[in-house]
Amino acid sequence: MLNIFARASVSRVTDPIGAALVRAGLTPNAMTLIGTAGAFVCALVFFPAGMLLAGTFTVWGFAMLDLLDGAMARARGSTPFGAVLDATCDRLVDGALFAAIAWWAFTVDGNERAAAAALVCLVLAQVISYVKARAEASGLSADGGLVERAERLIIALTGTGLQGFGVPYAVEGSLWLLALLSVITLLQRITAVAKAAREARS
């Protein structure tokens, strides 16, 4: 949903930075890999160790590089491989983040409900993305939805950040909220695919 309302405003800030990085010799694929590696490692190192604030801010920082690789792709010209690489890396980061939060909930916080919520969010995040990819491969549309990747990161990392600052049950509450919104998003995308399929037949 944020993609619809914030893309133009964000692009005005990131596009000049992306163009400058391209002129400096950095490629969009390199930026994608840097951001992915950083977020992946930080999630799996900090959250299982109970370092919620460190995990929150470092994962968020590396995830923000995803904005720059998009801006760089617009400046340099996107490629089919770059789009596939970016989508693949997004899934890896989402998986690492929710797996790491589940690990923390099980082993550090001892909160099985929060761990279950993290695993539900992990599965739904992958399925929501898969529905869009599979629909597009079939020539159908499944864009949009209440919660896309940006919203997932914001909600999950807000929870870990608040818990890191001492707010009890912030992780559990944010993850169950995200799980509910993700179910709604999945239904929205399935509905969009069904509508697109009907229109394609008519």
Q: Are 135 and 123 in contact (CB under 8 A)?
A: no
According to DSSP H, which parts of the chain are helical?
A: 2-23, 28-46, 52-76, 80-104, 112-137, 149-164, 170-201
| Nearest of 185, 195, 180, 184 to residue 145 by alpha carbon | 185
Q: Are 184 and 1 in contact (CB under 8 A)?
A: no
Q: Are 123 and 65 in contact (CB under 8 A)?
A: no
Q: Which residues are catalytic?
A: 90
Burial (0-12, 13-18, 19+ Cβ within 10 Å), 103: middle
Report the 10 Å Cβ neighbour count for 81: 9
Q: Are 189 and 177 in contact (CB under 8 A)?
A: no
| Nearest of 5, 118, 102 to residue 47 by alpha carbon | 102
